[in-house]
Amino acid sequence: MIGGGMAFAMLPLLRRIYAGDPVRLSEAVARHLGAFNSHPYLAGLAVGALARAELEGESPERIERFRTALRGPLGTVGDRLIWASWRPACLLIAIAAFGLGLGPIWSVILFLVSYNVGHIVIRIWGFRHGWHEGLGVSKTLHERWLDVVPRLLAPVILLLLGLDAVLLSRQVLDVVAWHGFFAGLALVAAFVALMAFRWPRRTGRIAVALVLSIPLVWLVLAGTSG
């Protein structure tokens, strides 16, 4: 969230706090137009805390220091919790559900509902904590669950990635009504998935080698059987 968005989000609160005092309102808006960055879902934590600080008449210098100190951790914690954990987990569960036979529309609904339950809870939690704790909100970012949830989800995501890669491979082979080579190709998929995870720099070469060699093997086999 850039400064303009932050100031826009705080404007309704600032208007109430500085009602009837356009000069102080203008000064407050100027403070919050400055550079700012955060994960969007945790921005409410900063909005709540900064609005509380404005309400309690904290000095502009202290508010500026607080803004600067908060923006790095809000981005890091949010990226790890949401973009790297919660979102992939919900997406991969929906893809697995489709691979196991759930209809496409229901699979999408499953993703949107499960993801947004977490999304909305985090937004509400962030704003409430920010508002209640004001400039002391930084200790909230050390709460245990913010670290535990990504750690718990990481192995689940890996398991689901392997599962989904193979289930989607089957869907791809269904397109060409081609089931005979499924087991072999699923093994190729699992193998390359492992290689991509374990040795990412070599993955490209291995993938290219496999793609080039499979048709050649097929030609040789076709030649010998004919």
**155-214 positions binding another protein, by CB under 8 A:** 155, 157-173, 175-178, 181-183, 185-198, 200, 203-204, 207, 210-211, 214
Cα distance between residue 140 and residue 45, in whole Å: 9
Q: Which stretch binds another protein (CB under 8 A): 53-61, 62-70, 79-87, 127-135?
A: 79-87
Token reading at 92: 């991969």
What part of residues 99-128 is at the interface with another protein (CB under 8 A)? Answer: 99-101, 103-105, 107-108, 111-112, 115-116, 119
Q: Count Cβ neighbours within 10 Å for each residue of 162-198 and write b for 16 or more, e otherwise.
A: bebbbbebeeebeeeeeeeeeeebbebbeebbebeee
Contact, 43 vs 6, CB < 8 A?
Answer: yes
Token reading at 197: 């995870």
Give whichever of 61 and 105 is closer to another protein, judged by the CB atom.
105
Give whichever of 53 and 90 is closer to another protein, judged by the CB atom.
90
Cα distance between residue 55 and residue 50, in whole Å: 9
Least CB distance to another protein at residue 160 (A)? 6
Contact, 186 vs 170, CB < 8 A?
Answer: yes
**Of the candidate residues 55, 58, 73, 87, the single one contacting another protein (CB under 8 A):** 87
What part of residues 14-73 is at the interface with another protein (CB under 8 A)? Answer: 14-15, 25-27, 29-30, 33-34, 37, 40-41
Give whichever of 132 and 191 is closer to another protein, judged by the CB atom.
191
Total residues in contact with another protein, by rule CB under 8 A = 95
Give whichever of 72 and 136 is closer to another protein, judged by the CB atom.
72
Residue 80 within binding range of another protein, rule CB under 8 A: yes
Give whichever of 107 and 140 is closer to another protein, judged by the CB atom.
107
Least CB distance to another protein at residue 9 (A)? 9
Token reading at 195: 């290689």
Least CB distance to another protein at residue 136 (A)? 26
Give whichever of 133 and 141 is closer to another protein, judged by the CB atom.
141
